[in-house]
Amino acid sequence: GQNIDQPTEMTATEGAIVQINCTYQTSGFNGLFWYQQHAGEAPTFLSYNVLDGLEEKGRFSSFLSRSKGYSYLLLKELQMKDSASYLCAVGSYNTDKLIFGTGTRLQVFP
């Protein structure tokens, strides 16, 4: 079957670095997505990994290891506006659906 695990909540300090982990199980892996969702708003796309390695985009980076079924989202130089839920989602060749994790709620404190 398909399964995604990520921590429920994390806290960090403004200016710090935080790593949000995601482990998954799926057949026909076709990419891993990270979305950011502020409270009361729709999720917005952050990153997409389909090959192993690190993808960097400004203060955000995402890493993928397909053999380990593992990804992480790295947020650097945290800002208060980074307080949000971060959703890990996996695509599969076998389906037109994305399987979403329950999300990690990140709180950034001054």
Partner 1 sequence: SQTIHQWPATLVQPVGSPLSLECTVEGTSNPNLYWYRQAAGRGLQLLFYSVGIGQISSEVPQNLSASRPQDRQFILSSKKLLLSDSGFYLCAWSGDRDNEQFFGPGTRLTVL
User: Which residues of this protein are in contact with partner 1, per CB under 8 A?
Assistant: 30-31, 33, 40-45, 48, 50, 87, 89, 91-92, 96-98, 100-103, 105
Give me the least distance between CB of 57 and partner 1, in Å please: 14
Least Cβ distance, residue 86 to partner 1 (angstroms): 11
- Return the HEC string of the chain: CCEEECCCEEEEECCCCEEEEEEEECCCEEEEEEEEECCCCCCEEEEEECCCEEEEECCEEEEEECCCCEEEEEECCCCHHHCEEEEEEEEECCCCCEEECCCEEEEEEC
Least Å distance, CB 20 to partner 1, is 14
Q: Is the Cβ of residue 43 or residue 69 nearer to partner 1 in the bound state? A: 43
